[in-house]
Amino acid sequence: MSTLLPFESLHNTRDLGGMKTKDGRIIKPGKLIRSGHLSEASEADRQKLGGMLSVVVDFRTEQERLEKPDGAFPGVECLTLPVMESMAAGITREEASMQELFSRLLLKPEEAKQYMILMYQGFVESEAAASAYREFLKVLLSDHEKAVLWHCTAGKDRAGIASVLVEEILGVSKEDIVADYFATNQYLKEDIRFLTNYVKQIAGTQDAAADESLRYLFGAEKDFILAFFDAVTAKYGGMEAFLKDVLCVDEEMKERMKELYLQ
């Protein structure tokens, strides 16, 4: 799995380095980093990131960026590639999105779960997502001196799918890809607990159904990532065709990425 990097205020910033591929190689450390948003990074975190990174790719909506800007990292190129055109409760974290979450899904865990499954299936259908991920993968084709970091808000959905695509291209097994996605729950455990208590307090409820709903909305579930894979297979026949036909990843691009990021 990816390796958690030690920061003061960032709890889900992970290096893909060390992940094994099916042909026996490993991903180079210090080159590919997934994360949640960077707005809460301490000054020490910012100094550390500035020394580690060449590029930051932000998958969030404009409103998310306005409410919680990443801030500057001297010498680091920052790109915005929104995966979603508008807010979506449980994935985007704008204030209005959170209010929608309260009103629609807080006490309806099965609906919350199905909602998230539909969102993951939607990553396969969305042109906004396809466009953002195409541009992101193009960024990775350059030989950057330091790492490329990509993130959304929590680092589990939009950044999680980006990680799936990178790992797939580099030849990581599906089993390890799913395990790396699911590991997000381990790193965000305290954040999820805090958010759950906060939402319940604001909503004025202690109903156990709220805990279950928020686990689906704030956590990483195997059913979600498998729904993404299943939707890819149903529509395109498999990941190879999805990468080629939707994300324009040809064999030359795959070999280039392997040359850059595997050892």
Segment 71-83, tens digit of pLDDT: 988 899 999 999 9
Q: Give per-residue pLDDT as tens, 150-172.
A: 999 899 999 999 999 999 999 99
What CATH architecture is 3-261? Alpha-Beta Complex (3.90)
| Contact predicate 160/220, CB 8 Å | yes
Strand-pair category, 3-4 with 53-58: unpaired
- Low-confidence winner among 103-107, 145-149, 196-200 (lowest mean pLDDT): 103-107
Rg of the Cα atoms in the chain? 18
Of 10, 3, 2, 79, the closest CA to residue 49 belongs to 10
Domain boundaries, the chain: 3-261
pTM: 0.93
Partners of 26 in the beta sheet? 20
Backbone angles phi, psi at 6, to 5 degrees: -80, 115
Q: How far is CA 22 from CA 25, 52, 60, 114, 252, in A?
A: 7, 28, 32, 32, 19
Q: How far apart are the first and last CA of the chain?
A: 16
Residue 233 has pLDDT above 90, yes or no: yes
